[in-house]
Structure 1
Amino acid sequence: MMLPFVPKRPEQALPFAGLVSWSSAARLWQGQGLLTEGHHVYSYLAGAGFRFPVGFGVSLMPFRHPYDAAVQARSLALTTGQPVVAGFGPGALQLQRSVLGREYASQLGACREYLGAVRRLLDGEVLDFSGDHFEVHGQLQPYPSPPVEVGLGVLRKGAAKVAGEVADAAITWLTPAPYLAGTLAPALAEGAARAERPAPRVVAIVPVALAAGDRDPVRLALASNKPHLSLPHYQSMLRAGGLEITGDPALDARELVAHDGFLYGGEEELTEKLLAYRDAGADEVVLNVTGVSAVYGPEVAVRELAAILRHFEKASA
């Protein structure tokens, strides 16, 4: 499940850490934090006694050199004693210009170089690499650690092909299940075949909310995803998935709900919709109740996650 907010203080994450530890949830995920940094939050939780597999979906490449990304990911695995999924993505063009002073000359080329370098460093290789986007000369100090998977945020076919070539995990966000099955999964397989390697596993981060009489699903979808709906690469992905995206946030949020980009319904209905991601090829489905947390608060969000997990466990049994 996803930590549905960026904590101002790391102890605010404790109820969600407890739920991961005491339920069937397999991993806690975070997105890119700009207030508190995700590696620090996970380290705090480990110090508080909560040690479980963790993931990042996704950290933004402009903020970290590949060598530092590899050091941080392995350091977290050593600190927690648990597996880590270190997911990365290039971020929006404006972010790249703000941090780097320029855009990556090739978005896909930058992803291919970055993930390739991080993976090879984690594998213990000595790198003497000068690419079109990054230079990496060195090696991580050899030391055994729990496994670290390197993931790529995937929205469209091009990124999926790159993930097939170099990633351990392809991480989707806001992606309807039919688009995952019909567009992304074949592209992942194509990239993997080109690189003569197994296809990466698929992690689908899915925004969800339980239905209730006093709830407006469009409001919840907006609270969860309004910034993403304004970004061209998300708009392009959703249009390719069959949604009529107009640039009007309220109308686009309504489309998300109508086409199950944002999952809304009772416990049984939500379970069926989540199982559709499994059938579409997802190996790991991440429950994201960011909208619930934003509108009703973290206490409601953690209870909502617990309810969804309990029902899912019963349905799976």
Structure 2
Amino acid sequence: MSTGRLSLLFGLQVECLDVLEQYGRWCEQDDRRLWLGQSTMIETHVALAGIAGRGVRIETGLAVAVAPLFTPTLAWVQARSVAHLMERPVCAGYGIGTMATAQALLGHPLSAPAGYVRDFVSEIGDFRAEEDEGSMGSRVSLGAGVLRPGMARRSATVCDFAVTWLTPLGYLSSTLMDAFDAGAEQAARPRPRVVSIVPAAVRRADHPPIPMAAISCGQHMQLPHYAQMLRGAGVDITGDVPHDLRETVRAGLFLYGSPDEIAARILEYFRSGVDEVVLNVGSVHLLHGLDAALSDAQEIADAVARATGEQDLTENRQQERNRTCSLV
């Protein structure tokens, strides 16, 4: 069975390079991509440069960097720097954060946020076009965060990929995919790769779903643009927090169950046209620590490998790593 790619999100602010390095080492084992959101404790690009200096060599992604924090020139220089230091491709995705954040950073309200992000990414693309073919800079992919059809259409005219967050699968597979297709057709270019951030936790006695959903989804669901998108997608968001959190689990916005049950839902994303699913086990990390989070990620990854017939390949890579270690 052919599937998309399974990656991992560092779903926290970066406060310590030791912890981020452990996520990077986990990704290094099976050539998985490590994604980060916008960190301001230790800025995202600086954090990735820091673990590159410790010898981590992995593909990385930004999902998403807050564009008003940067100029397009600075965003390009930083993304290209990470690619050079990691010696691996970088997926650099951008968004506005929130309207309030954008206004505070820019000093004026944004009348057309989708147009702002499109133009921001387009300008970075102009810098990339000047890179020599085959250089690390030429291997920086550019993307945007997408919630609604307007942003999907505009991003598809300039972006290599689009990142969705907290988008119900039915809404993603129909409304957003149609908008991606329309934008790509308008620009006479391929549809961007679709990358979906999916919060998840393995069902355990000490892993109650509602507190975990609150950590992963609660803050986003209270933002007007997320609530509007979810209601439009048919999710029963009322503003009553306990009810809305239960709804995130019921609607599959927060995946909770056995590793095999979570893997089955991830395969639904792939069958719907999603190219890359990014696991967010940040709620497990915050409640139970690093080891518990990476354990959940590993069990889910193993279940996806079993379901897709890739288990033998995964085991062969592990055996090869063991042989290599025994020779050192």
**Alignment TM-score, normalising by the size of structure 2:** 0.88
Q: Structure 1 46/247 Cα, relative in aligned 2: closer, same or farther at 3 Å?
A: same
Specify which of 225, 234, 245 is matched with residue 237 of structure 2: 245
Structure 1 match to 2:66: 60
1:27-46 to structure 2, matched below 5 A, reads 27-46=33-52
| Aligned CA distance change for structure 1 residues 204 and 143 (closer, same or farther; 3 Å) | closer
Counterpart-to-counterpart distance in 1, 2:197 and 2:57: 21
C-alpha distance after superposition, 1:13-63 (max 9, x if no partner): 12211111113x520000010211111121122121110110000001110
The equivalences for 1:1-317 within 5 A come to 1-23=8-30, 26-124=32-130, 144-146=135-137, 147-317=139-309
Letter in 1 for 2:26: L
Unaligned runs of 5+ residues in structure 1 are: 125-139
Query: For residue 145 of structure 1, what is the amino acid of its counterpart?
Result: M
1:63-86 superposed Cα distances (whole Å, 9 cap, x missing partner): 001111111111111111100000
Range with greater deviation from structure 2 (172-181 or 209-218): 209-218
Q: CA deviation at 1:7?
A: 2.4
Compute the TM-score of the two structures, normalised by the length of structure 1: 0.91
Q: What percent of counterpart residues are identical?
A: 36
Task: Assess if the C-alpha contact under 8 Å between 1:223 and 1:295 holds in 2.
Answer: no
Q: Contact 1:7–1:36 (CA<8 Å) still a contact in 2? A: yes
Residues in 2 aligned to 1:142 and 1:203: alpha-carbon distance in whole angstroms:
25
Q: State the alpha-carbon separation in 2 of the partners of residues 21 and 271 from structure 1.
A: 21
CA contact under 8 A between 2:114 and 2:154: conserved in structure 1?
yes
Distance (Å, rounded) in 2 between the aligned partners of 1:16 and 1:265? 22
Deviation at 1:250, TM superposition (A): 2.0
Hey, what's the Cα distance between the residues in 2 that align with 1:99 and 1:20? 33
CA distance in 2, matches of 1:265, 1:241: 23
Task: Name the amino acid aligned to 2:235.
Answer: L
The CA distance in 2 between the partners of 1:164 and 1:288, in whole Å, is 25
Q: Distance in 1 between matches of 2:132 and 2:101?
A: 32
Preserved contact between residue 152 and residue 163 of structure 1 (Cα < 8 Å): yes
Corresponding residue pairs, total: 301
Q: Which amino acid aligns with 2:219?
A: P
| C-alpha distance in structure 2 between counterparts of 1:87 and 1:9, whole Å | 23
Identify unmatched segments of 5+ residues in structure 2.
1-7, 310-328
Using the alignment, how far apart are the partners of 2:281 and 2:293 within structure 1? 6
Please state how far the C-alpha of 1:97 moved relative to its aligned partner.
2.0
Structure 1: distance between partners of 2:284 and 2:224: 25
Deviation at 1:258, TM superposition (A): 0.3
- Stretches of 4+ aligned residues off by more than 4 angstroms: 140-143
RMSD between superposed Cα atoms in Å: 1.6
Maintained 8 Å contact 2:14/2:44: no
**Could you tell me whether the CA contact under 8 Å between 1:224 and 1:294 is conserved in 2?**
no
Q: CA separation in 2, counterparts of 1:252 and 1:156? A: 20
